[in-house]
Structure 1
Amino acid sequence: MTSLESMDLDFVRLGSTGIETSELQFGTWRFGKETETGTVEIDEERAYELLDAYEAAGGRYIDTADVYGGGKSEEWIGNWLADRDRERFTIASKIYWQIRDGDPNSAGNNRKNLRHRIDAILERLDTDYIDVLYIHRWDDETPTRELLRTLDGFVRDGKVHYLGASTLRPNAWKVAKANEIAERKGWEPFSVVQPRYNLVDREIEGDYLEMSRHYGLAVCPWSPLGQGFLTGKYTRDDGLVGESRVAESSRFEQSYLVAENFDVHDELDAVAEAVNATPAQTALAWLMHRDGVTAPIVGARTVEQLEENLVAATIDLDEGQVRRLTEAMSGPYYRL
């Protein structure tokens, strides 16, 4: 297997912005995350090991959010960056989820909440600016003009370079409407979107990807391995045997462990064998070959998992293999 030290991830243009990003971004949503049993999925020491490994492979784009690990993710990234050249890294974070019980203004995209939380993000990351600020969800209670004017102020103040919208699969029109308003007002538009997208989660094919192309938006998908389904760890017969996430088991089983998804996985396994790669690497390689996708976000619990994921950047699928995987899922958009 290719070692991280021998890799050198390529850079790709971040949509229509003037900057470039690593072709695989590193997601830190598990940093400091507590499980139901009270254990931490990735502790501080492991977080630094993973960041070191990503850097060793040439990775320069780190994705986080102010609620990941209750803020620990940002704090640890800030500590890690302290010994490095900040300018060499692209850092993205997100705002939306409620952070104070009983305070409705501590959630959503209202101006009060955004202004308070951007300063807290910068403090935890120990930086003067972040490169991409996402709204983590759309807030229908906050007028779009209020949201955009506030975000534009962050860019004008130098606290943020670019704006993004995360997890808005059914709401492509809301991003389009916002960018039309921004253009008329001379405000900063959304430049990056972050939807769920993988071989079996294909909702964005159609209007969402068309909207992204029209506005020149970078598309940086999360959950590129379908919450682990596309790694090959589940089988038709065994299902969730030995799976630890008891609370999510029913939802995961209903969403992923279904016949049509296993049919897709059969095709994935066949292509993976043909290119001498793992199913996870092949699923990531397919996503990287998809027209309109800028850079998937990968995560890992261990350095070994991260290495397996990053090696996907070295796998070259031919046109027939990409088509075979694309058409493995039936549906109105899946043959685009």
Structure 2
Amino acid sequence: MSDTDIGFVTFGDSGLHSSELQFGTWRFGRETAEGNLEIGEERAYELLDAYADAGGRYIDTADVYGGGDSERWIGNWLGERDRERYTVASKLYWQIRDGDPNSRGTNRKNIRHRVEASLERLDTDYLDVLYLHRWDEETPTRETMKTLNALVEEGKIHYLGASTYRPNGWRVAKANAIARAEGWEPFTVLQPRYNLVDREIEGEYLEMARNEGLAVCPWSPLGQGFLTGKYDREEGLTGESRASESTSFEESYLTEENFDAHDVLDAVAEEVDASPAQVALAWQLHRDGITAPIVGARTVEQLEENVAAVDIDLTEEQVERLTEAKGGPFAEL
């Protein structure tokens, strides 16, 4: 690994500290539509080693990643290290048993079963952070928050998070109001999608997070690879790229507006002698209200490139140019 050292940032209004870049493991054990394994066990350990060698201490996973392999591999890896030096976050929500509606969502039965299963796979006594992967429209908020609070009191969870809740930020505020009124543990962190061209959380969502004192740790900070510069404005998706990406990706990302924003990204990258991916991450690290983006990588080389973003110092003028490249009405936030 390079000489880059990932630092720490405060985790919202809590007493916890997070690595300024978190490591996402959603590709661990994941099979593509063509049946190819994105990241196998050996490479997973190499990536975790590289992240730790750079000073990274925050590992993000979910119980469904790789059918549970992501958690198992992280647990194996942690077994050779000091567990207390690492913050481990996992998630639950998606249905895991066909024909069993109770194996989905945030009902008490499902939460308790899924947390116990995650702890077993991770070979740990506790989760530092448990995220609800989606909002459950069928389970009363009070039931969910009471169940989560009990797990916190039992020492099985330390902090609670909500992932991909936009445009449901008001639901998080409601859940926290219920929790505080009852003396229960509220949500501490949010995990929305956010990057230079996906700006939907700006405005009321980020204002809610500030008001609630919540950490904000975005996923997809590189726009599913769009902000790395590997897609061409004229050719779009071709060959192998077209086979690996969906039509929705093409419609969402390969637009003139987004390529215009990418032109600004490329210009700033040239000014600071860095890659577009590094500048896209550095921009988030300079954004008020953003705690720590979650980075993923298929190779150690990609991870090293991403981690080097912590050393990039953008000027106020460069941050403003990037923000206004596709800022919309909330670019000033």
**Smaller-chain TM-score range?**
over 0.9
Alignment of 1:221-300 (within 5 A): 221-244=218-241, 246=243, 248-300=245-297
Distance (Å, rounded) in 1 between the aligned partners of 2:311 and 2:303:
14
Alignment of 1:19-58 (within 5 A): 19-58=16-55
Distance (Å, rounded) in 1 between the aligned partners of 2:240 and 2:174:
42
2:205 equivalent to 1:201:
no
More moved, 235-244 vs 279-288: 235-244
4+ residue segments displaced more than 2 Å = 242-249
Residue identity in the other structure for 2:72: E
Give CA-to-partner distance per residue, 1:64-108, whole Å, 9 cap, x none: 000000000000000000010000000000000010011111000
Distance (Å, rounded) in 1 between the aligned partners of 2:244 and 2:297:
21
Distance (Å, rounded) in 1 between the aligned partners of 2:241 and 2:120:
35
Give CA-to-partner distance per residue, 1:258-294, whole Å, 9 cap, x none: 0000000000000000010000000000011000000
Distance (Å, rounded) in 2 between the aligned partners of 1:247 and 1:221:
23
Which of 71, 81, 84 does residue 84 from structure 1 map onto? 81
Contact 1:240 1:249 in 2 (8 A): no
Residue identity in the other structure for 2:146: R
Report the alpha carbon displacement of residue 17 of structure 1 after superposing the two structures with TM.
1.1
Contact 1:15 1:216 in 2 (8 A): yes
Aligned CA RMSD, in angstroms, stands at: 1.0
Which of 314, 320, 324 does residue 311 from structure 2 map onto? 314
Distance (Å, rounded) in 2 between the aligned partners of 1:124 and 1:311:
31
2:228 equivalent to 1:211:
no
Distance (Å, rounded) in 1 between the aligned partners of 2:114 and 2:260:
44
Q: When the two structures are aligned, how many residues end up with a matched partner?
A: 333
Distance (Å, rounded) in 1 between the aligned partners of 2:43 and 2:224:
20
2:326 equivalent to 1:334:
no
Q: Which runs of 5+ in 2 are unaligned?
A: none
Q: Percent identity?
A: 73
Distance (Å, rounded) in 1 between the aligned partners of 2:83 and 2:271:
41
Give CA-to-partner distance per residue, 1:173-205, whole Å, 9 cap, x none: 000011111110000000000000000000000
2:128 equivalent to 1:131:
yes
SS in 2 for 1:29: coil
More moved, 6-15 vs 298-307: 6-15
Which of 138, 142, 166 does residue 139 from structure 2 map onto? 142
SS in 2 for 1:332: helix
1:75 matched residue in structure 2 = 72
Question: How high is the TM-score relative to the length of structure 1?
Answer: 0.98
Question: How high is the TM-score relative to the length of structure 2?
Answer: 0.98
Distance (Å, rounded) in 2 between the aligned partners of 1:277 and 1:238:
24
Distance (Å, rounded) in 1 between the aligned partners of 2:240 and 2:92:
31
